[in-house]
Chain A
Amino acid sequence: MSLREFRLPDLGEGLTESDIVAWRISEGDAVELNQIIAEVETAKALVELPSPYTGVVAALHARAGETVSVGDPLVTFAVTPEDAPAVVTEPEDALEPNLVGYGARPEHSGRPVRRARRAPPDVPTHRDQPAPIMAPGERRERPRSTPPVRHLARQLGVDLEQLVGTGGEGLITRLDVEAAAERTRDSLADDAFTDDGPVTRIPIRGVRKHTAAAMVASAFTAPHVTVFHTIDVTRAFELATWVTESGGTKVSFLAIASRAVCLALSGHPELNSRWQQSTQEIVQYGYVNLGIAAATERGLVVPNIKDAGSLDLVGLAAALAELTAEARAGKAAPDRLTGGTFTITNIGVFGVEAGTPILNPGEAGILALGAAQRRPWEFEDGIALRQVMTLSLSFDHRVVDGEQGSRFLAELGNLLQVADEAVLR
């Protein structure tokens, strides 16, 4: 004996379901081929269903009054081999076995998925990161160019989004692309180098490629100025310890610094903005998406904490911990890595004092935290060994004046030196 399942066929030119009006058989009944087993009602007609097999009814899969979709199991028959004719199964039928009835077959059940293709796409999508989904109001038109020029830009590695076209109505011309490539070429001048000894070749791809492109775009578009401020951060470290021990969350210096940055930015919106060439606007963000530069196995990534300005110190510390863990595990979600408005880079962990960090594209300020070193420092009119740190702030001089940048850094330094719990909580 073998079991055969009978599924509801399409009973009339494109129907997708039928109602069981009445069963004419019960489980356990013996049935003959073509014996009427049920009455079903479709959108068009009341139809009698003849049994496709001679055998015994093993199971009924629907009750009278129920609606059944085309392709759903109706009856399982127990049949002897002689009574069970060979059903020709096609490879396609493997997807929906026994469904030979016709009509508007359901195209999928559950979430639509595509059938696996043998070879993955030859050429990677031209984004290494997925495109950010922008709100309708934000969706920009693409830079205008012509297909041959776009092809040239791809070949030369020029990003059209970074160019301003000199053709009619801002059209990016062949000359524009060649000029951009020229600038890149001049600065790199690869051909000028010969190797005098053994070398190791590392392909430029993935995160490094993207980061390099971002660096180039940033460094050669925005005029960078860096200002430095060396401060006593002993109180700040003490505060971090105090808050950690009194609460449950670990609060690090980085959390304190992040909080201070958010507070300082609220009074200095020019440091939390971007220069938008295409529309000739400076866009000041009304929120702080605070990026934290993180060194991972794959390279430098800058995930950001969304709306960091609305978090209190403990909340910020928790967000930082989550972000760091994600970044280390390589599991930062796509939108984590975009949309930042200001960045902190903690170069101090490597033991260095100061630096001239490069801005993250789309931002006007980046703060590098140097290593905290025990040094003799002026303290309460005397000299004491204090934790001393240099803050390095690079800013986009198109957007931020020297005065603005310096004032911001000074205020930030003050917040950290004083480390007033009431202020920083």
Chain B
Amino acid sequence: MFLQLLDENGTRHASPEFDPLVADLTPQHLLGLYRDMVVVRRIDAEATALQRQGELALWPPLLGQEAAQIGSGRALRDDDFVFSSYREHAVAYTRGVALVDLLRVWRGVTASGWDPHEVGMATPQVIIGAQTLHATGYAMGIKNDGADSVAVTYFGDGAMSEGDVSEAMVFAASFQAPVVFFCQNNQWAISEPVTLQSRVDLADRATGFGIPSLRVDGNDVLAVTAATRAALARARAGEGPTFIEAVTYRMGPHTTADDPTRYRDSAELTEWQGRDPISRLAEYLRAAGVLDHDVDTRIAGEADAVAAELRAGCLALADPDALTIFDNVYAEPHHVLERQRAEYAHYLEGFAE
């Protein structure tokens, strides 16, 4: 299957099964999704520029994956909990993370940009696939509590090869945990194409574990919204886990330290530019008379303002005090560490200037 409600030209396709799930989305709602995608793309571009200017250590761009993240992120409830990889900046945005908090970790001034419990989203995971187990465990806790919130885990096509992800699906299926496995298949894991990770559609691997699976056009924000809502509804109704494969494309490099020209064809990039998530929605909204020049200008202005705020916030991020490295290693006092802290403080005081 391949769920698509809005194709690359902005033409709406009917789906009897999934149309009801997005029937409530008025043109204004859609304009809101459009605005979200424009803004997060701009955040992504600004962060990339900041890295090139030496203000961030690293940035993993989400360029091209806006629909997959905004569509799914906006479908969540406040009391749902997200366990993501390091690329889900747009999901964090939908969870209400402040702009500068998106950058703190990448600037290298802190281990976590926000408090997971305040945001309902774990600190992004760098170890590929590890977060899927955490999400499954969290979902097991929800079930024990008798609540109807959902744990959602985001990961990529490369993660599907890690043992942790298979183990997570084993547990999720066995315990019928209320977890949504949201896989963004952006076709590439650094230089490795998805065909190296799997000989079958990624969605089909989940069914092998007994987890119902949806394969959607990840660049179609409507389809993503519909699929996510369907999965969430199942989980809330006690029907267990769902796997969503959002087929999309990593338009940029793996991170700002990567050079994709070494391993992929520019023709492929051009092809996927034709499937851009934002432009297809723009087409649709223009045809619907909702997106005119004035609205476009307004939204562009909002994006500029966000970028400026992001930049100013980034540049103002100061280095923390040296002795903070000893904080939070343990929740309870630890005498070895306390002594090391005292020694290091003593050492630092000994410098002449």
Contacts and interface: CB of A to CB of B under 8 A. Distances in A.
Q: Touching in the complex, A and B, CB below 8 A? A: yes
Interface residues of B, number: 28
Interface in A196-250: none
B54 A10 contact: yes
B257 A9 contact: no
A159 interface: no
Interface string B312-326: 100111110000000
A6 B53 contact: yes
Contacts of B53: 6, 9, 49-52, 101
Contacts of B315: 85-88
A50 B312 CA distance: 16
A400 B143 CA distance: 99
Interface stretch (A111-119, A285-293, A307-315): A111-119
B280 to A, nearest CB: 26
A85 B54 contact: no
Interface in A118-136: 118-119
A12 B49 contact: no
Interface string A20-52: 000000000000011000000000111111111
Given A46-B261, A116-B351, A118-B349, A88 B52 contact: no
Interface SS of chain B: helix, strand, loop or mixed?
A: loop
What DSSP secondary structure best describes chain A's contact surface?
loop
Contact of A118 (B52, B318, B352): B352
A11 B52 contact: yes
B318 A88 contact: yes
A50 B351 CA distance: 38
Interface string A93-105: 0000001111000
A354 to B, nearest CB: 54
B87 interface: no
A50 B49 contact: yes
A21 to B, nearest CB: 13
A107 interface: no
B54 A119 contact: no
A44 B256 CA distance: 11
B350 A7 contact: no
B311 A85 contact: yes
Interface string B256-291: 111101100000000000000000000000000000
Nearest to A87: B315
Contact of B256 (A6, A8, A11): A11
A375 to B, nearest CB: 63
B353 interface: yes
B312 A85 contact: yes
B256 A12 contact: yes
Given A45-B259, A90-B318, A34 B49 contact: yes
B257 A13 contact: yes
B58 A117 contact: no
B54 A115 contact: no
A92 interface: yes
Contacts of A101: 53-54
A47 B312 CA distance: 24
B305 interface: no
Contacts of A117: 350-352
Nearest to B322: A92
Contacts of A11: 52, 256-257
Nearest to A13: B257
A6 B49 CA distance: 14
A50 B52 contact: yes
A9 B59 CA distance: 14
A102 B257 contact: no
7 contacts: A50-B52, A85-B311, A88-B317, A100-B54, A100-B55, A116-B351, A116-B352
Given A9-B54, A102-B108, 7 more contacts: A11-B52, A34-B49, A45-B257, A45-B258, A49-B53, A102-B57, A119-B350
